[in-house]
Every structure is written in C-alpha cells, then in structure tokens.
Structure 1
Amino acid sequence: MKQKLYNILNIKHKKKAILSTLLFLLISQNSFALSLADPTQLSTDFTPLELGVVLLLAITFFVVVLVLMASISIYNHSRSVLKQDKIARGEEVEPDTESFSEWFWAKFNAAKPDKVVLMHHNYDGIEELDNDLPPWWKYGFYLCIVAAIIYFVVHIKGIAPNSTEEYEVAMVEGNTLKAQYLAEMASSINEENVELADAAGVTKGQALFAKKCKTCHGANAEGLSGPNLTDEYWLHGGDIKSVFTTVKYGVPAKGMISWKDQLSPQEMQQVASFVLSLQGSNPANGKEPQGEKYEAAKE
C-alpha cells in the first residue's frame, strides 16, 4: 500500500514538474509573440525572415523539450510498473543497468539486428541488408524540407528581401561605413602622421591650390609675392610633413596665413601633396630660389 501511494505521489510530482515547465515555456512563447506584435519591445531590428527563423527555432525547442520530458516520464513509469509486476509475481528483479540516455539513443537511432533486415538473396556469398534510415536522419531531413518551404514562401511572397536586394542593402551600408571611416581618418590627419595623398587627392589639391594659393604663389606655383614652389629650395622644409605644417600654421611673419581654420586636415594634405607633385616642373617666369636645397633622407 505504501509503495502504491509512493508511486502515485511520484507520478503526480512528475506531472507537476512537466506542467510547470510547459507553463514556463508557454509564458516565454507569449512574451516572444508580444515582442513581435510590438516592435518597440525589440532591442534589435529583425527582418521578417529572421523573425520566422527565431520563431521556428523556439517552436522546435518547445516540441523537443516536450517530447523529451514525456519520454522520460513514460520510460520511468514503464520501468517502475514492470519492476512492481516482477516483485508481485515473486520473480527476481535485475538491477537497473541501462540509463535513460542509452535507452533514448537506442530508440532514436533504431538500428535493427542484421538478421531482421537481411535480404533473402546473396551474390557470391555477399549478403545484402535493407536497413531503414535512422529516425534522427529522417527527422533532420523533414526539418530541412520544412525550412525550405518556409524559405521559398517567404521569398515568393516578398516577406523578406532576396539575395540581390540583400546585397544592395549591404553595399549601401558598407559605403556609409566607409564614408564614416574616411571622414574620421581625414579629421585625424596631422603634421606627425600625414602622408602623400593618392592621385585623386592630388587632383583635389590642385583645385584647392587654384582657389586659395595662386594669388601669392602663381597659377603654376612659379612664385609671386610668395616663393617658387617648383624648385628644390625650401624655406621651411620640403617633405610632406614640413609642407603640411607650413600650410596648417602659416608663416605670419612673412605674410602667409594659417589655413587650419579654413581647410580640413584632409584638404591641407591634398594641397601639400599637389605642391610636392610640382617638383621639377620649371614653369615660365619662375621666381628665384629661396631657402635651402632639400634632399630627401635616404632610407
């Protein structure tokens, strides 16, 4: 009597555990559904396809947990009933040697003995088996079919963007990030880290020079009130860092203003790079050399 009562209470305890877990999962599913209904509750912007995948995974997890819990309950209850029947009949009860994981894997794998699936013919002594695919393989295949159908419907109905649209969106986002990066890098250029600009930068520097510098240095940098910028002689250094520094801070004592408040660091780099690209151009009416001859340091 005590044993029966214990079994009943044990079964009820398991049922409570199962119901509690199911209730927890249902509440989780309800919260997830509410978050889908109210986009303001989502911390990240999901595409419809991503939401569908998340929902499918949640449902799959719910089903798997339910099946596992039901299997454990049925397995334990069946073993308990069989054991009680053997005791009631006075039979010897063998100790439990098979764990639930071993039992579950045997059912999930469901491999049959060779004799059961042996076909009734052979070729030169070679016998052929006709074993079924294991359940885990079939379940995985069925899940792939379901995922493929969902994927097909989502794209046919236009619920989510196709690969081309995703590529175009990614390119726009990438170009935006690239522009932001270049803007940040441009603003970080200074006299310590400045380097020669590329060909496009030199072209932009030419336009800036024509707009800002030709009044003092001439249209071809041949030198007017300012020095000739095309020869090898420099008053304040002839490398990119020195020219950038001169453009940035100017030389107030000699009438050259500072351009740091009118030009961005990148624009000053472009102007300095254009000036250095004029070395040896020898324009007509070039002003006499001033300063010292600059020779690049040998590396």
Structure 2
Amino acid sequence: MGRRHRDALFPPAAIQRLTRLVDIDPQLLAEDFDRAPDLAPVEILITSWGCPPLDDRVLTRMPALKAVVHAAGSVKHHVTDACWDRGLLVSSAAAANAVPVAEYTVAAILFANKRVLELGALYREHRAALDWSAHFPDFGNYGRTVGLVGASLVGRRVLELLRPHDFDVLLADPHVDPATARSMGARLVGLDELLTASDVVSLHAPALPETHHMLDARRLALLRDGATLINTGRGSLIDGQALTAEASSGRIYAVLDVTDPEVLPAASPLYSLPNVLLTPHIAGSLGGELQRITRSALGEIERYCAGLDFAHPVTRAALATSA
C-alpha cells in the first residue's frame, strides 16, 4: 500500500493490536514489490489502495503466502488469477467501506427531493422568504420513488437505510430475484422501467464490460423531467457525453461523486451547471471513517490466527460480478 494509506489506516494503537496477533515489522512497507526486502517468510499480506498486482512473478517471492487481507474495498486491482490458482484466502473491507458510501447516497437522495441545492441558490439570490411550494410543487420526500441500480454491498446498505423513509423503492439487478428484492424492501423491475418511474436514480453496479455506459443517451432520455441521477459507483456506468448533453438542457439533475475520466477535464460544462453537484470521489472512507476499515482488517487477521474463516471473504466467482 502507499505510505500515506499505511499511516492513516494503522495509527499506533492499531499497530499495537496487530503486533499482538502476528510477527510483523511495523516499519516495513512495500510500495513496490521489486524493491521490497525478503518476502519468503510472509504468510499474511496486508494490502490497501496502491497495491501492485500480485502476479506469478511476485507470488514466486512469497512461497509461504496463504492469505491476503485487503484494508480497502475492491481487490480487482491486485488480486490476479495467479492468486486464485495458488489457493490464497482473500478478504476485503468492502463492507466497511460501503457504509459511508451508502450514507452519502441517502443524504443525496433526501437533499435531491427537498431541492436543497436550488433552494439554497434562490435563498442566496433573493435573501428573503419566498413561496417555496409555488416554486417546487413536487417538493419533499414523502411518497417519492427511488430507483437503485445494483444490489451491491453499497446498494444493499442503501436499501437498509431507506427503510424508515416513506419511499417506493425500485431495484434493477439481473442477479436478484423478486423475492429477494422484496426481502430488502424493494420491488424488482427492469432497468428501463426503473429509469422511467423514478424521481431519483442511484447507481451501485460494478464496472464490468456489460455495464460499461449502461446509461447511454437512450436510457438517460428515459429519466423523467426533474429526476435526479446519483452516481457513487463507477464513472464508466454512464456515457459522459450523453450525460453532459442531458444535464446541459436543464431537464435532469445529477449528483456525481465519480466520473469518467476522473478527474474531468477543466473545460467540462458539468463543473458549472447549477443542476449538477460534483464531488471529488469522497463518498468512500476518509478521515475518521478509515478506522472502520482498520477494525475490519484486524478482525479478519484475528479470525485467521484463530483458525476461523474470514467474515468477509472474496472468491473468484463472486469477484466476476462485483466491483
């Protein structure tokens, strides 16, 4: 992992807990396996953002390696087929990282239906009380329709957090059946129906070849006038040019924490559109939220040392349809 991630994820208290569990040199940090010292005795590899791929060449240097504990979300950037062929155990803190992403998403949904951005701008402009209901006759969250695309870890957490609210929740996911969707508080529909029926659409699908630009010009046109599109998943889920055209028309709203490319070019109209909120990929764990990831990773190491299965295992089959 990168040094800044090590320092943020493993403060002294976490290091003390770690050293009680395993034989580790707290000063050893491998940012580049080619320049790392002798890795032959390594049994557990603790990884995070910035870990290089664990390919055959790298794994040859770690003949004793049995487990990879990832103190971050997706392992797709570094866990290769060679890891699975070797039979390595893999764990991820994706469930821990899903919590702040879901919280961000729910906040964005609630703010979207309350038209917070527009109302704030009008209030700054007029500096007086206006008839807000006349300006926004569809104002509020009661009885609104929210569509979630993808029952990922984040998507499922969003579904949990939406339960106390008076929403009609739709879900589009080819890997979920209607009964499972109902158990999560949603009604399973096709993607086109979800886009047509929802006041707010939130994307939680993985970046796969079949999901690339899943929201193209045709599907973006299905969004009802005034709908809000939220993306905390992957920028590649949306055709950026088509989204820019739709947003520039003023017909829809967008809350985008991820884009493609990331960062957007400085000349992108999305920066200045009043109906678009851009944030710099902050929905995931930052600051104090990183300690949730640390606790998850340390808990997995404790389980491994006790001879227990990981609480948050990653498998080759599951990785094929996840982020």
Common topology (TM > 0.5): no
TM-score band by shorter chain is under 0.3
| TM-score normalized by the length of structure 1 | 0.19
Bigger proportion of residues as helix = 1
Bigger proportion of residues as strand = 2
More relative contact order in 1 or in 2 (CA 8 Å, sep 6+)? 2
Highest CA radius of gyration, 1 or 2?
1
